[in-house]
Structure 1
Amino acid sequence: MSADNTRVSRSIPSFRLSKYYFVYFASLGIFLPYWAIYLQSLGFNIAEIGQLIAMIPATKIIAPILWGWIADKTGKRVRVVRITSLLAIVLFTAIYQVRDYWSMVAVTLAFSFFWNASLPLFEAVTLAFLENNPYRYSLIRLWGSIGFILTVTVTGIALDYYPPLILPQFAFACLLLLWIISLTLPEPEVTIRHTIKGQLGQILCQRSIIALLVVFMLIQLSHGPYYALYSLFLEQKGYSGTETGLLWATGVIAEIGLFLLMPYLLTRFTMRSIILISILLSILRWMLISQYANQPVVLYFAQGLHAASFGSAHVAAVHMIHQQFGVHFQSIGQALYASISFGLGGMLGSYYSGWFWQRFGPEYVFMGASVVCMIALVIAWLWIDDNPVMGHVELLVVEEDL
């Protein structure tokens, strides 16, 4: 990748970047584990819940690419994050007024179109600040996991005492705080004088890039039943709200441990090796959930594998996209990754998990997720190239933590 005439600021506003991740994933700690329970309390059936949950990642197919293109075109990534965060809040307020299926579809699509745009743009912002220190990404990103743990645990306990109607209030508070934090973020100083014509097309035509995007679409498809219906699955098996929250938190605690290890792992293993191991452990995870849901010890172990099925896989993907797309196309690169994996993969996984649940039962749904990961493993083995490990990175950088 050519980075001619490009200047990237070395000042890293670590504290502010970490706060944004913390609050964004705190909001995710409400939507992922518990939104299905809220929808069920409104009277929607399992198939409708799966479809409504699928609406959220469905907007990731288009929104990140559109907003990523605007951000790269204008060079104002943080400004776009602020605008999309504000519009997400405004549109989410309509959730209090709707109770029928089609109105809920409309509100979900509207607010998530803007909410889903902000994270891939923010990933590009973070990596722009970390241009010379990419190993620090996981150390900043882990604060998102801490935010997720906090809300998933507190919300789980709250649901043992209060009805699911409290969930929109929790979500609104997180969305409002997210917008306020976005106002404090500086714009990364990236100046690009020119790019090579046709360069983006050349990147997208690379076999390894195509394989990477397909593999992560399949990985996120396999997570569809987990994100959409896992809490309902646990409720069906007799687990309390507190136990459900602790199981979700266990997965993210393992993820945090992984993020702390990633700077070490990235200097000793290739991205391809990390991805292959992550997929193998994902296959094991979905099999255990499918067959041993009545055994809490096994479920806690399976939740620990979230460190691999999401944590290490995601970090490896973000770094590979960053390497392959270069500074010229960071926003669109991260947007494509979010759109195809979390968007298309997440939508298909959520939609079909509800459909298959009704016809075959949840155990078969999670076993199907392991089969999807087996397909991803074959594609990754055959077509993802072996990127070199990251070399030693100088630790002394300018940090702005205010």
Structure 2
Amino acid sequence: MTAALPYWRLSGFYLFYFSLLGATAPFLGLYFAHLGFSSARIGELLAIPMLMRCVAPNIWGWLGDRSGRRLQIVRLGAVCTLATFALIFVDQSYAWLALIMALHAFFWHAVLPQFEVITLAHLGDQAARYSQIRLWGSIGFILAVIALGQLFELYSLDLYPWALVLIMGGIVLASLWVPNALPLARDDMSSDEGFFRQLLNPVMLAFYLSVGLMQLSHGPYYSFQTIYLESLGYSRGLIGQLWALGVVAEVLLFLVMSRILSRYSVRRVLMASFLIAALRWLLLGAFADHLLVLLFAQLLHAATFGSFHAAAIHFVQRRFGPGQQGQGQALYAAMAGTGGALGALYSGYSWSSLGPFCTFAIASLAALAATVIIATHLQEERA
């Protein structure tokens, strides 16, 4: 890292931001179940913030590209995320929770795409080292799932909203510590093309469709994995450690990701990620009651999120010019949100009617479809 790079300030923001994801992904569905909601209602509530991810990042991305005030958008989003989520202390009815899910997600999803652009601007020609900063987000996720898993092993889930508010406060403080940076103009052809013209390229359409399918395949995992494992007899403390194990594998992969991307094309990395995801969902659906298989499946998170996300971020960064970076990253977030929302919805409805195995089997098919799309549309090129 160069002396000018604010490594710890950028890393600190990722630490807190993904701590919030570590607090919500494993435990939000469990908290809704604690409140007495059915699997269908849980799926609907979890789909709402993902649906907002389809809309909000594009609005904020357009605003960021037009105004250039990305850091101000990050700070505003962090403050409003905290303020709107705090409404959960007013009421916990289904309608009120649905409103809170929508409001806080609208601002939360403003934050990360704009911050990704700021991070890449700080990195400059060292973009391949993005993973070395992003890995601190994974560390934050690990700390959150282990700490909250132990907390809810000992105490009631009634403490859950207070834990989220505390983490959101950390995001606000971290956003105030980060210095601004703007993308530099590039001489490549993509910088001269308009955003929508870029999207008409079949390669771009294929990429974004595969992103949606990958996140759809994660629907059962992010919505019902904790509930599923608890039904199989695993303790909440162990469940938190299992979630953490997957992210530990992700961190280790991030440490070598720059070397992987310098050796293999984005196409190959994405194809491998999708194929491993298809295998992982089948293992979870069929053999989650076997601890050794479950441990192996969690290690595969290194590919189903780690290599996939790092390759996707690099792909977007290379394909869009500086004036479209915010919109490109926002569309990536939006397609991930669309897929995630559909995944949460289908898994919510199929969980009680078809069961865990069929629900995860559908997820596996979605990942295989993404493999075919990437294999037939992306060219071999280095990240």
Q: Same fold (TM over 0.5)?
A: yes
- Aligned with 1:238 (options 216, 233, 242): 233
- Counterpart mapping for 1:118-197 below 5 A: 118-190=111-183
- Aligned with 1:337 (options 332, 353, 365): 332
Corresponding position: 1:313 with 2:308: yes
- Counterpart mapping for 1:239-258 below 5 A: 239-258=234-253
Gaps of 5+ in 1: 1-8, 391-402
Counterpart AA for 1:252: V
- Aligned with 1:350 (options 332, 341, 344): 344
Gaps of 5+ in 2: none
Distance across 2 between alignment mates of 1:291 and 1:239: 16
- Aligned with 1:210 (options 182, 205, 215): 205
Deviation at 1:40, TM superposition (A): 1.0
Counterpart AA for 2:207: L
- Counterpart mapping for 1:285-296 below 5 A: 285-296=280-291
String of CA shifts for 1:76-126, please: whole Å, max 9, x gaps. Answer: 110110011111111111011222111110111011110111011111111
- Aligned with 1:375 (options 369, 376, 379): 369
User: Which structure carries more helix by proportion?
Assistant: 2
TM-score by length of 1: 0.92
Distance across 1 between alignment mates of 2:295 and 2:109: 29
Q: 1:192 to 1:382 in 2, by over 3 A?
A: closer
8 Å CA contact retained: 1:10, 1:132: no
Distance across 2 between alignment mates of 1:287 and 1:163: 32
Q: Residue in 2 aligned with 1:400?
A: none
Corresponding position: 1:274 with 2:269: yes
String of CA shifts for 1:302-340, please: whole Å, max 9, x gaps. Answer: 000000011101110000000001222111100000001
Counterpart AA for 2:367: C
String of CA shifts for 1:118-150, please: whole Å, max 9, x gaps. Answer: 011111111111121011100000000000000
String of CA shifts for 1:33-84, please: whole Å, max 9, x gaps. Answer: 0011111111111110111011111110011100011111111110110011
Deviation at 1:198, TM superposition (A): 5.6
**Alignment size in residue pairs:** 380
- Aligned with 1:116 (options 94, 109, 125): 109
Q: Residue in 2 aligned with 1:16?
A: 9
8 Å CA contact retained: 1:128, 1:327: no
SS at match of 1:364: helix
Deviation at 1:10, TM superposition (A): 9.4
- Aligned with 2:68 (options 57, 66, 75): 75
Counterpart AA for 2:71: V
TM-score by length of 2: 0.96
Distance across 2 between alignment mates of 1:193 and 1:183: 29
Percent of aligned positions with the same letter in both sequences? Answer: 38
